[in-house]
Amino acid sequence: MAEKFGFNFECEVRRRGYYPRGGGEVQMTTNPVKSLHGVEMLDRGNISHIAGFAWCAGTLPVKFKVARAMADGARSVLHQRLGHLPIEINSVLVPSTISVGTATGIVLKANSENGCILGSDLMGKKGNILYLDPDE
């Protein structure tokens, strides 16, 4: 998407930090541009596919089970609401060597047939990590 605006960048997540403790570290590299290109996108189009990942980090005793349950739950809700679009949601265990704190979450993106990208994320709630509200 950045190329449509006339620039590019690289982003490396060196360490993940989670609310409220923080401590994450990201390195971004970009080439400066004098101005951005205008982009006109008036018709989103139909959603063509959905991708994402459910993740767990830190000291949760059943962390991979939690990530898998979140991914399965999201996949189920999306199929119920949107029909049988291609949906790929992976389960990810974030190594403790690159994370600060304990957290869970899910990140999803929907791509449209006209090149639009819609994104959403949700952090797990303490004491209720398997809860997934389809309206959020």
Mean pLDDT over 2-29 rounds to 89
**pLDDT value of residue 51:** 98
Q: How sure is the predictor about 25, in pLDDT bands with cuts at 50, 70 and 90?
A: very high
pTM: 0.79
User: Chain-wide mean pLDDT for the chain?
Assistant: 87
Beta-bridge partners for 17: 100
Domains and CATH numbers, the chain: 2-123 (3.30.360.20)
More confident residue, 6 or 125: 6
What are the structure tokens assigned to 74, written together?
A: 């999201």
Among 59, 69, 45, 53, residue whose Cα is nearest residue 103: 59
**pLDDT value of residue 3:** 83
Strand order in the sheet with 9-17: 25-30, 9-17, 99-100
Determine the residue type at 121. D
pLDDT at 125 over 70: yes
**pLDDT value of residue 61:** 65
Question: In this structure, are strands 99-100 and 117-123 parallel, antiparallel, or unpaired?
Answer: unpaired
